[in-house]
Amino acid sequence: MAEIGIIAAVLFAYSLVSDKLSGWAITPPMVFVAAGVLLGPDVLGVFDLTLTGETGLALAEIALVIVLFADAARIDLRALSGNRNLPVRLLGIGMPLTIILGVLIGAVLLKEVEFWEAAIVAAILAPTDAALGQAVVSSQKVPQRIRQALNVESGLNDGLSIPFLFLFVGLAVTETVVTATGWATFVIEQIGIGAGVGLATGLAGGFLFERATDRDLVSTPFQQLGLVGLAVGSWALADFLGGNGFIAAFTAGLAAGRITPHTGQRILAFTEDEGQLLNLIIFFVFGASAITLLDGLTWHVIVYGLLSLTLIRMVPVAISTIGTGLKRSSVLFMGWFGPRGLASIILALVVIEEEPELPALATVLAAMTFTVLVSVFAHGLTAEPLINLYSRVIRSDGAAAESEEAMELQIRK
């Protein structure tokens, strides 16, 4: 009960000065992470709840389920091809290259980890969180094509990274050579069942929800809550059947979004209010856990974390944008604004749940924690200054490729 009271007090105190702080480029995640560190067990010691505990893990998993479902539901995949494939390039070329480069650098730099453990770190740090640099994807100073490409990338790469993560975890803990039958079993159980359950629940649930809504059977609050129930239900059912619940939630969002046109708007309304509260609680608990999670921190991990936010992100973005006509300033801007946040935190916790005895677990957690901590503050503080600088450069360059029309998408806060 004391922990709930502390979170409530921090939330109330922040609300009193939230608008003022936003004018100083201080974002909500920055405040809640800093408050968590200060009040956590390793500093003042008044808040004892940690992410690695059962309650913290459950909160984090539910938050990821809602985010995956919401991101999938709000993206119109059919419209992406009309955007000269910029989001598709970032996802189809940039993200795999990010993972590959992260694996290779991690295998060389992180002396404490084996090859597949380095792959786990790379998969955890591959997803981006546009909400940490929300000004970037909402500012009218940034060309619509650029901000929506970053928005779509962030909305889909968390879901796309999950199969890679579970594959790498399986390889890291397998002591013998995996047979073709073993691979087939893994794919069927983790991906096949998860995607199948998500598709079935998304289509069936979306159909029922649309029919009930058309007949005015659904009250306004439950137009949001019903979809949250569908998201969490698909996750729980897939997990019960032996599949991957996160893949199920993501697939259910894709399916429901096609059946029910306003699914993305409704679930996004939830994530902007109740969902954002849950996310901020997780950032607070993450801050409280951060010092403990940094037990495995070494200079190798520090260098890797900094490279993850720069070289490992920027080179794949540059390669994926070849032939798009974008100016160098745009490529650099997109390369920098790939923050690591909620998805990376939760994917690391999933590793704890799946393989608590992973030999290099301390290093995996330290790499995630250091990278996210740096990202929360670095991307939050640099958003407005770099937006202003970038907009001036774009105006002076007369960048035509950046000015092309792009699909306007809803933004997750």
What would the pLDDT profile of 67-109 be if each residue is shown by its tens digit? 888 878 877 666 665 545 788 899 999 999 999 999 999 999 9
CA distance 320 to 270: 33
What are 250's two structure tokens?
A: 């993501």
For 26-403, CATH number? 1.20.1530.20
* Low-confidence residues of the chain: pLDDT under 50: 83, 176
CB 146 within 8 A of CB 330: yes
CA distance 413 to 411: 6
pLDDT value for 218? 83
pLDDT value for 80? 61
pLDDT value for 131? 78
pLDDT value for 176? 47
Residue 142 per-residue DSSP state: S
pLDDT value for 273? 66
pLDDT value for 35? 96
pLDDT value for 385? 93
Residue 192 per-residue DSSP state: I
pLDDT value for 183? 58
CA distance 400 to 180: 49
pTM: 0.89
pLDDT value for 410? 55
CA distance 204 to 260: 11
CB 6 within 8 A of CB 356: no
pLDDT value for 310? 97
- Taking each continuous run of H as one helix and of E as one strand, the counts in the chain are 19, 0
